[in-house]
Structure 1
Amino acid sequence: MFIFWDQYHPDMNKNPGAEEKFKEISAAYEVLSDDEKRSLYDRFGESGLQGENGGPTNASEVDPSDLFDAFFGRTDGLFSDEGGFGFNMRNSGNRGNDIRHDLRLSFEESVFGVKREIEISCYETCNTCDGTGAKSKNGIKKCTSCGGKGGEKKTQRTPFGMMSQVSTCSKCGGLGMIITDRCRKCDGSGLVQAKRKMDVVIPPGVSDGDTMKIRGEGNFDKRRRYTGDLFVVLHVDRKQGIWREGLNLYSKINIDFTEAILGSVKKVETVEGFKDLQIPSGIQHGHSVKLSRLGVPDMNRPSIRGDHYFVVNVLLPNDISGTERSLVEQLASLRASRQGHSWSSDDTGQRKGKFNDSMWRDKRSDASSEETETASSLWGSIKNFLRRGNSDERFASISQDTSTLMWRFGHQNYSVPHSIFVVLFITWILKSIAKSIQKRT
């Protein structure tokens, strides 16, 4: 404010219009810096600052609030158009005639909007006295203290010139008149209490605690010639299982561990009713699945809408049957083999012992080599026996190979028919050897 004083002071600014601008700034400062004068302006507007009703004095006719807004910016709410919604109860001259109404909404109504009929308690002009507060015109007299002005003017000299200050008349309360014969219906107030019904349109996307300002729907005071505003404070009920964060909605969903592994389709509740939610296979605990555009619309841009997220809670069973345990162990074994591990279970079902694929292949390779060596030894012994002429050597050779062969076969888990064939074949060879020896002797 002092910056503007220096900028437009006549001694510092010789431009045309600077002096008039300086007077406007001084008048605005006079009102804004004085609590009583500011209160008078809040109650009666610009007329409360005038020297006479209907005519201005040497004080400027500028609106101090408008001047203040021009210099320092307005502080109105989100919606300031006539009949719109405001979210900031700004001080105004109609402050005493404003009405507050609390309105409760369901969760769905706050999301999609709703049209509601409300009934408010208000003060209206008394139709008996037509708002004068007097029983008749003869019952009204001009206040002798303020001369009918409603305020007492005081003028004083300041470094910036002559400053006038108007205070509320203590005798008439700022009305400028005294009621000698009051109206019986309103008891001299000029107002009567009444009920009023009206429709209120709630826009989509409102939040708990938002306040709608509806201009011109407050109390009407004919004597002071202004109407207050209606402030509707919204209270949104909570919805079980759904909560809001910004434009997005959130819910929790429980699924079985088998559903987490295999995937599933679940019925879930949304603000638009029950919907199918596709659970992808392999989803992890704490991850979320989204249903697009099922959240809250943007109040300023209704075409923009949030999403509904479902946070997954994977449930593990506390107790399972023996069959279920066996199936889970088989699954664990299969998964371990895929990952290069093999597991075994003891009587308590605890896994123990493991080896990797390379060790398993080595053992399989060793077993295959032993089979090959065993077969080679068998046929090699037979061929050597038939080729050699020394019976003792032949018998000894077969005896040694046979014992080795039987030991190896006993550790390779061969089938019973295979073992019987080997025994019969060896018996036939032994009999042939015995006959050959008898012929030679």
Structure 2
Amino acid sequence: MTDAQETAAGLRTTTGGGPPDEEVSSDGLPVPLLEPREGIPPVVADADGLARVVAAFAAGTGPVAVDAERASGYRYGQRAYLVQLRREGAGSALIDPVGCPDLSSLGEALSGTEWILHAATQDLPCLREIGMAPTSLFDTELAGLAGFPRVGLGAMVESVLGYVLEKGHSAVDWSTRPLPEPWLRYAALDVELLVDLRDALEKELDRQGKLEWARQEFDAIASAPPAPPRKDPWRRTSGMHKVRRRRQMAVVRELWESRDRIAQRRDVSPGKVLGDAAIVEAALALPANVHALSALPGYGQRMGRRQLDQWMAAVDRAKALPENELPQPGATPSGPPPPRSWADKDPAAAARLSAARSAVSALAEGLNLPQENLITPDTVRRLCWEPPQRLEPGTVAEALAGYGARPWQIEQVTPVLVTALAATA
């Protein structure tokens, strides 16, 4: 039995394995969780219903489990189309942000309460858009710090609590109205056991001496400012690496921006308007006319003449741009070059990186946690590319802090990195 399996077995024994009114399988196999404890709550979609939820959750006790469902791949943007909550004394609630687009009153009622989320960084942006932001949180996905090899919600609930969550509706179109009952059941079950899971994981993190590490990670997530808008988002078009010439880059930009305007106006995912592969095909081919464009992959028989005309117009705009208005090649990324080039560019830096990676890997294995949780690979690369002039614990710790490492990470990795870097000096 692996360390993670022993941990999970111990947790199931000490926590009782989930809802108090359920019986764990006598043969030790995971038990399907088919219904929320109090049934599927009604969907709240008006001011009166929201006021009742706010009052109930304000009167509840303990942390609050929070989840959100988006319509990624179906709608434009990443807005929330359903918010699920559960708290002791309040039960579970399902809120429709289409009918209740401002949940700031709920956010205020939960101010100072610990929120439990799974993969918090995925849900926080869409929750902030509707007025909800935690002052403190517990992210059950970061249970990877306790050595669990699979940290998806279903995997964690199964290994820690002994229950199987039905995950068949994770990628459906949550903008659908009315939402089908099976989807609502799935959504309610996503928060059904989050409090139980949080309590079990807190005990395990504490047992392993990692609870303070986790708290530092949670605080960093809760206090992180919203990500700024990406500069030149068209440069992230899939397949962009094939586009070398500036005129071709201009075609990608024009097609991407045209697609984005159409997708935003129609409120559909940009990929449903025109695929990235089709954009790149047009950029590489620089078609002379609509007929040539229609022969390219992605512009076939299903596309009407009006659509072809609008894409051809975008291509023509790019072809007509003067040289001084063509996009420049992508800016040189900040930080070190790709590691594969280090041996040629700076053999000493390559040696430092090899030694540092080995040291971090060994330490992570000894601490029973993923390397990326111990310290980000980017931080290690930056340190090895431009190490401090004096390889001492204080200077290395200062450099790590400058790259955003948490205090617990600095404490753990500084000694092994100093040793590894000094050995290659």
TM-score bin (small chain):
under 0.3
> Which structure has more RCO (C-alpha within 8 Å, separation ≥ 6)?
2
**Rg larger in 1 or in 2?**
1
Bigger share in helix: 2
TM-score, normalised to structure 2, is 0.18
